[in-house]
Each structure stands twice: as structure tokens, then as C-alpha cells.
């Protein structure tokens, strides 16, 4: 069993009968979804799910998990998702897979948000290894980019897979992948980007994670 699978199994232990559970997006979240299916089948656990992306909804449906649409909920019991970077104060960078909008809605709506990752995701500061994904309204991308550049941001629109156009998120936005001065702390940057007209959402998750589960060479620890 690899570390991503191990940590996903640990997170599944938090799921109790009757819960509404948010499903994250990515390879670690996929292991969590698979474990939920096993728990339903083998142990009769009963819960409902809500997905953070079309891909996790499809995965849940393929495993016959009960699923409700995001527009039908106003809170959830538990959200389990991966992250691209995790700092010591549990600030996250997410969104490599560009499903930021639903991910942040579910992380905010959850009574408990559990982050699952292997030790490769631990960093000292946000944007240590990855650019910050910033979803922008397509018609506003140039104006938003200019405003973000005034904050010291450097970056470009994310290209699509064929490199003949631009990436469109599941929310219908473009993505600016940007880096900022490393001396700007994540909560300041979070507020500045939130305040930028044309920005729909971005990948810094400040003060949202309740529990971080890290698997490192077969051992899971909680932060």
C-alpha cells in the first residue's frame, strides 16, 4: 500500500453513519472515495456524498456512492481532500487540478476539513514548489492580470493540454499561474488576491484545514 492510499484509509475512519461527506479531487482523494465504497459494501456504513469536481462525482457514481449536487446543500459534516503544498500552520496550496471553486466552498462549509497527503507536500512557505493558481473570469483576464502584477505577481494564463488555447476550469474560468514575492505571507497574499476584481477564486487555503494527516514511509501522523 502506498502512502497516499494509507493516509486516505486513515481519513475514512472519520466517516460516521448519516454524515454528508465532501469528496476532494486528485489521486489521494480517489483512494478515499474507493475506501468509502469498500466501507459501504463491506461494513454497511451509510452516508451521502457531495463532490468537488466532475471527476470525483464520476468516480463516486461509478462506485454507486449516494451523491447530492452542491446546490442542494448548505453545510457538510466532513470534507476530505489532498493538497499540493502544506505549511506548518496548515495553510494549503491547492488547485493544480483546477477545481478550486468547489473545493474552497466545501472546505469552508465543512464542520471538519481533513487534508490528506504524503510527506512530499510539506513545505515551509506557500508557493515553494508550485505557482499559485488564480481563476479569473475569461473576459477579465487581462485586467485581473494587470492588477495582480501591481501586487508583484508574475505569471501567465495556463495553456490547455494541446497548447493551442487556454485551460478552462470546471467553473468556466481561465487560470493565471503566478508567483509573488516570497516575503509576502500567505494570509496577506490571500487577502490581496481576494480583493482583486475579476478573480473568481485562488489556490491559497488559509485557516480552513482542521486536521492534516501525513503519511511518510508507511506511518501516518496528525497535525
Q: List active site positions.
A: 103
Nearer to ligand 5RP (CB atom), residue 96 or residue 158: 96
d(CA 137, CA 158): 13
Q: Smallest gap, in angstroms, from Cβ of residue 52 to ligand 5RP? A: 8
Contacts of 121 (CB under 8 A, 6+ apart): 82, 83, 84, 85, 86, 214
Residue bearing cell 505549511: 87
Query: How would DSSP label each residue in 56-79?
Result: HHHHHHHTT--EE-GGG-S-EEEE
Q: Smallest gap, in angstroms, from Cβ of residue 72 to ligand 5RP? A: 22
d(CA 70, CA 171): 13
**Cell numbers linked to 4:** 497516499
**Cell numbers linked to 193:** 488576491
Q: Smallest gap, in angstroms, from Cβ of residue 139 to ligand 5RP? A: 24
d(CA 65, CA 46): 10
Q: Smallest gap, in angstroms, from Cβ of residue 51 to ligand 5RP? A: 12
Nearer to ligand 5RP (CB atom), residue 82 or residue 198: 82
Nearer to ligand 5RP (CB atom), residue 24 or residue 198: 24
Alpha helices in the chain (DSSP H): 3-12, 27-43, 54-62, 100-109, 141-150, 186-194
- Number of helical (H) and strand (E) elements in the chain, helices listed first: 6, 14
Q: Smallest gap, in angstroms, from Cβ of residue 61 to ligand 5RP? A: 19
DSSP secondary structure code for residue 121 in this structure: G
Residue bearing cell 492534516: 212
Binding site for ligand 5RP (CB under 6 A): 24-29, 81-84, 94-97, 99, 103
Nearer to ligand 5RP (CB atom), residue 27 or residue 195: 27
In the complex, residue closest to ligand 5RP by CB: 26
Nearer to ligand 5RP (CB atom), residue 172 or residue 197: 172
Amino acid at each position: 500500500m502506498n502512502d497516499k492510499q494509507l493516509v486516505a484509509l486513515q481519513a475514512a475512519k472519520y466517516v460516521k453513519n448519516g454524515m454528508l461527506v465532501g469528496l476532494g479531487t486528485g489521486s489521494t482523494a480517489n483512494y478515499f472515495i474507493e475506501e468509502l465504497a469498500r466501507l459501504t459494501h463491506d461494513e454497511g456504513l451509510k452516508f451521502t456524498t457531495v463532490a468537488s469536481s466532475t471527476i470525483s462525482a464520476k468516480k463516486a457514481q461509478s462506485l454507486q456512492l449516494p451523491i447530492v449536487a452542491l446546490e442542494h446543500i448548505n453545510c457538510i459534516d466532513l470534507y476530505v481532500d489532498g493538497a499540493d503544498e502544506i505549511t506548518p500552520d496548515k495553510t494549503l496550496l491547492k488547485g493544480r487540478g483546477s477545481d478550486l471553486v468547489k473545493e474552497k466552498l466545501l472546505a469552508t462549509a465543512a464542520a471538519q476539513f481533513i487534508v490528506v497527503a504524503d510527506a512530499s507536500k510539506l513545505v515551509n512557505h506557500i508557493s515553494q514548489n508550485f505557482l499559485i493558481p488564480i481563476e479569473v473570469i475569461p473576459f477579465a483576464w487581462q485586467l485581473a492580470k494587470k492588477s495582480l502584477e501591481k501586487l508583484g505577481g508574475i505569471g501567465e494564463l495556463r495553456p490547455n493540454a494541446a497548447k493551442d488555447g487556454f485551460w478552462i476550469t470546471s467553473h468556466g474560468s481561465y487560470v493565471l499561474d503566478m508567483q509573488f514575492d516570497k516575503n509576502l505571507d500567505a494570509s496577506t497574499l490571500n487577502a490581496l488576491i481576494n480583493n482583486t476584481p475579476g478573480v473568481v477564486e485562488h489556490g491559497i487555503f488559509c485557516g480552513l484545514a482542521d486536521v492534516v494527516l501525513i503519511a511518510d514511509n508507511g506511518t501516518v501522523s496528525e497535525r
